[in-house]
Amino acid sequence: MEVLLYGCGAVGLGIAASIYDAGLSVDFVAKGRTKEAIRNNGIVRSGIFKEVKVSPEDIVIYEDLDEIKNKQYDYVLVCTKSTSNSEAAENLKGHSHILKSHGKIVIFQNGWGNDEAFLQYFSKNQIFSGRVITGFSRPERYISEVTVHSSPVLIGSLHGEDIYPVSALAEAIDNGGIPCEITDDIEKALWAKMLYNCTLNPLGAVLGVSYGKLTESENSIFIMDNIIEEIFKVMSAAGYHTYWQDAAAYKRVFYGELIPDTYRHRSSTLQDMERKIKTEIENLNASVVRLGSKYGIPVPYNTIIYNMIKAMESFF
């Protein structure tokens, strides 16, 4: 099984380490200091799961897809920030020869609509989506630290395609220590994560606190309740589904189970703010705002939190 990791952030490195631990290998695409860090140190997965170390001698790393000669991949794992999806999709299209005839592109990102850029160049049966609700951080450019874990990684098709072709990938990730499954309900899983991320990530970034701290204030709970209720209204209007029938059912699980399990986690949006880089807000609350506009559903709380994040980005 030949795997290429496109995007060496915390999530990508964590998944790659799992594949190595399962007895397989991964090639990497990385630039600059990240490439040098991996080339000099290999990669490490630390944190709440088994520690995995891969020596630099066992890693093949490219700075650009142009460097890949006479090799084709069964899976290209897109683990970049969603902000670079247009560039990533165009780059992969320009080097589509690296993908085997049956090869798949699997997108591991936050948000909704991440597949749209890739569908401009690749067919629906080539594009799969992954839902990752495990928390990762990158204390060093070659280290992925697993900070919290709530549910298995899920991989599936948003377009009704057969999911068997990604079963070998899911099995490798699972065997390598991060629970992973294939699913026919990836839409439900991604909207479950949208509810979670849209409610917690931007507000945690604005206030500079962990997920759990947001539940310690009646004011932040009020904001989160309204974000959740707006998302359910938009989902209903757009014909999307998740695991809960309504906002009330979700809030019981959100406050009773999901937050306690990830109490100390600091959102990727907050981490991006601290590093002064663009966030993935365009594929989170902005997606809700766009759907609200399309279907005539007012979403003032999602709109405000989106604009607050964009304002903070403008001050970088």
Confidence at residue 223, expressed as pLDDT on a 0 to 100 scale:
98
Rg over CA atoms, the chain: 19
Confidence at residue 213, expressed as pLDDT on a 0 to 100 scale:
97
Domains of the chain: 3-184 (3.40.50.720), 188-314 (1.10.1040.10)
The pLDDT tens digits of the residues spanning 82-111 come to: 999 999 999 999 999 999 999 999 999 999
Return the HEC string of the chain. CCEEEECCCHHHHHHHHHHHHCCCCCEEECCHHHHHHHHHHCEEEEECCCCEEECHHHCEEECCHHHCCCCCEEEEEECCCHHHHHHHHHHHHHCHHHEEEEEEEEEECCCCCCCHHHHCCCCHHHEEEEECCCEEECCCCCEEEEEECCCCEEEECCCCCCCHHHHHHHHHHHHCCCCEEECCCHHHHHHHHHHHHHHHHHHHHHHCCCCHHHHHCHHHHHHHHHHHHHHHHHHHHHCCCCCCCCHHHHHHHHHHHHHHHCCCCCCHHHHHHHHCCCCCHHHCHHHHHHHHHHHCCCCHHHHHHHHHHHHHHHCC
Regarding pTM above 0.85, the answer is yes
User: Which stretches of the chain drop beneath a pLDDT of 50?
Assistant: none
Confidence at residue 265, expressed as pLDDT on a 0 to 100 scale:
85
Confidence at residue 137, expressed as pLDDT on a 0 to 100 scale:
87
Confidence at residue 261, expressed as pLDDT on a 0 to 100 scale:
84
Confidence at residue 291, expressed as pLDDT on a 0 to 100 scale:
98
- CA dist 219 and 159 (Å) reads 39
Confidence at residue 262, expressed as pLDDT on a 0 to 100 scale:
85
Tell me if 153 sits within 8 A of 132, measured CB to CB: yes
